[in-house]
Each structure stands twice: as structure tokens, then as C-alpha cells.
């Protein structure tokens, strides 16, 4: 128990400080909290009002979406109707007519001739431009007569025209119509050789043989006219015949042997 003195002292001190009892309960003097009690009371008395907090939350979401699309197969059938178009185009027509005309039918270029060839009579319609050699080889098939130069230089085409040796490549067939023609085929045959042909075989008078038909035909005419010719006469008679093989010694010998 405080004594009265003690109370008096505290009152006095308060008075001295100029603080009322009520103010002492607040514990604040001039904005200054006095003492631990005052501070505590100040804390209790000035409790702050409950705070209201507004929280705003913003949420941003990122979403990735993957879409797979399968292409569809579509069949489209279209019918297009087009108006008819008229095109006018020039057409050139070329007509080629091929007319086969036998040479014999060409008026003015043919002749009807007769020939006796190797003992056989022929009536032939020939082109006026054909040589006797052509007619013998191409029309009658007597290919024993050779055409070497076809220009009167080699003598291989020689035939007998009425017994006279002539170059058939230089004679028009139509010009000797009615004549008697002797070719190599008419001199002798394989099974019945003329003595001249046999002599050429026996005396190696033949090499390639190209010149031989003409040489034998000319030699035949020589022996008909001169059965016992000399070597010089044989060479002179055959001066119009060429032997590309150069077989002259044996050719002359063959003729002379045939004349024996
Ligand atoms: S083919 Fe006749 S002379 Fe040569
Ligand atoms: S044998 Fe050949 S051209 Fe006289």
C-alpha cells in the first residue's frame, strides 16, 4: 500500500509534468511516447482498421495446337461443249498418173526388123536407138558377145554380119535388118567346139576371156578368107581387138595352130 505521501509524490510529479490522468493513459506527450506502459497503450488504442486488399491476377496461357489434315482425292469430270467450228482450208490435190509404155509402142521410135542370128530367123520390134549388141544380149539373150568399151575401141563386141566382122556396139540393130548375124554362140558349142575354139583352149590362148569372143569371131572370118595366114596377117587381122590381159603371143599362136 502506497502511503499517502507516495501518492502525493506521483500526483505532484504529474502535475509538474502537466499531464492529466486521462492523457497519462494515452502515454503521448507532444507526440512522444513516454514509458513502456504508454507505448503499449498507444499500440492498443491505435489499432489500425482491418485492411481490404484487392488482388488482380492476370493469367496468360499459351496453347499450341497441331492440326493434321489429310488431302482428299477428288475426281472431277467435266463435259465441255464447244460450238462447232468451220475451217475452210485450200486443198491441193496432185494426181500422178504413171503410164507404162513399152518401147515398142512408142510411135516413131520403133522398127520391125528381121534377123537371122546363128541360123535362127527373128522378127523383132526394136527401139531405133538400140545397138545390135543390145539386141543380141538384151532381146535374144546371147550374152557371149561382150561389150567392153561400147564405143568401137576394144573389139570385144565383134560379130559377123553377112560374113564380115563388124563391131556390134557401133551398129544400130534397125540398120542391119535382114542380115545374117553370127555370134560366138554360132561358131561352136560346148559339146561341139570349132577348131579355133579348141585351139585357144589347147594353146592357153584364154586368160580372163573378155576379149576372146570377139577375137575368135574375127579369126573365123580371117580363116574363111585366108585359111593359111601368116603370123603378120593374123596380127593385122586382130589389130582392132584389144586384150587387156596381154596374152597376145598365145592368142596369135592359137590362131596359127587352128590354121594347120
Ligand atoms: S564394145 Fe564394141 S568395140 Fe568395144
Ligand atoms: S584374155 Fe583377158 S582381155 Fe584378153
Per-domain boundaries in the chain:
110-258
Please work out, in degrees rounded to the nearest 5, the angle formed at the alpha carbon of residue 10 by the alpha carbons of 5 and 15: 120
CA of 154 to the centre of ligand 1 (A): 5
Q: Is the distance from the beta carbon of residue 252 to the nearest atom of ligand 2 less than 6 Å?
A: no
Contact 255, 229 (CB under 8 A): yes
Average pLDDT score over the chain? 78
**May I ask the CATH architecture of the domain 110-258?**
Roll (3.10)
Contact 160, 194 (CB under 8 A): no
For 221, the grid coordinates are: 572370118
pLDDT digits (tens, 9 = 90+) for 141-182: 999 999 999 999 999 999 999 999 999 999 999 999 999 999
The band of 98, judged by pLDDT with boundaries at 50, 70 and 90, is low
Q: Is the distance from the beta carbon of residue 247 to the nearest atom of ligand 2 less than 6 Å?
A: yes
Return the ligand number nearest the Cα of 131.
1
The band of 68, judged by pLDDT with boundaries at 50, 70 and 90, is low
Instruction: Report the pLDDT averaged over residues 218-225.
Output: 98
pTM over 0.85: no
Q: Is the distance from the beta carbon of residue 154 to the nearest atom of ligand 1 less than 6 Å?
A: yes
The number of C-alpha atoms within 13 Å of 153 and in the hemisphere containing its C-beta is 5
Instruction: Report the pLDDT averaged over residues 6-11.
Output: 54
Give the mutation target among 132, 134, 136, 169 for probing the ligand 1 site: most ligand atoms within 8 A of CB: 169
The band of 45, judged by pLDDT with boundaries at 50, 70 and 90, is very low
Which pLDDT belongs to residue 152? Answer: 97
CA of 148 to the centre of ligand 1 (A): 5
pLDDT digits (tens, 9 = 90+) for 114-151: 999 999 999 999 999 999 999 999 999 999 999 999 99
Give the mutation target among 153, 184, 197, 207 for probing the ligand 2 site: most ligand atoms within 8 A of CB: 207
Q: Is the pLDDT reported for residue 197 higher than 70? A: yes
To the nearest 10 degrees (0 to 180), the angle between helices 248-258 and 212-225 is 40
Beta-bridged to residue 166, according to DSSP, are 159
Return the ligand number nearest the Cα of 243.
2
Amino acid at each position: 500500500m502506497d502511503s499517502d505521501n507516495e501518492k502525493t509524490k506521483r500526483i505532484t510529479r504529474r502535475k509538474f509534468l502537466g499531464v492529466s490522468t486521462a492523457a497519462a493513459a494515452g502515454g503521448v506527450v507532444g507526440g512522444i511516447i513516454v514509458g513502456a506502459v504508454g507505448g503499449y497503450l498507444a499500440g492498443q488504442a491505435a489499432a489500425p482498421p482491418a485492411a481490404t486488399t484487392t488482388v488482380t491476377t492476370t493469367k496468360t496461357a499459351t496453347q499450341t495446337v497441331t492440326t493434321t489434315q489429310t488431302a482428299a482425292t477428288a475426281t472431277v469430270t467435266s463435259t465441255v461443249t464447244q460450238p462447232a467450228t468451220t475451217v475452210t482450208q485450200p486443198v491441193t490435190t496432185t494426181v500422178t498418173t504413171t503410164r507404162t509404155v513399152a518401147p515398142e509402142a512408142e510411135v516413131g521410135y520403133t522398127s520391125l526388123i528381121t534377123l537371122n542370128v546363128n541360123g535362127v530367123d527373128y522378127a523383132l520390134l526394136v527401139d531405133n536407138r538400140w545397138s545390135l549388141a543390145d539386141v543380141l544380149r538384151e532381146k535374144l539373150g546371147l550374152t557371149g558377145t561382150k561389150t567392153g568399151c561400147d564405143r568401137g575401141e576394144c573389139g570385144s563386141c565383134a560379130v559377123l554380119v553377112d560374113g564380115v566382122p563388124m563391131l556390134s556396139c557401133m551398129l544400130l540393130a534397125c540398120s542391119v535388118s535382114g542380115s545374117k548375124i553370127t555370134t560366138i554362140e554360132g561358131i561352136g558349142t560346148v559339146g561341139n567346139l570349132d577348131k579355133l575354139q579348141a585351139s585357144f583352149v589347147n594353146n592357153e590362148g584364154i586368160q580372163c576371156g573378155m576379149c576372146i569372143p570377139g577375137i575368135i569371131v574375127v579369126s573365123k572370118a580371117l580363116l574363111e578368107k585366108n585359111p593359111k595366114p601368116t603370123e603378120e596377117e593374123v596380127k593385122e587381122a586382130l589389130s582392132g581387138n584389144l586384150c587387156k590381159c596381154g596374152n597376145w603371143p598365145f592368142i596369135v599362136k592359137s590362131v596359127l595352130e587352128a590354121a594347120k
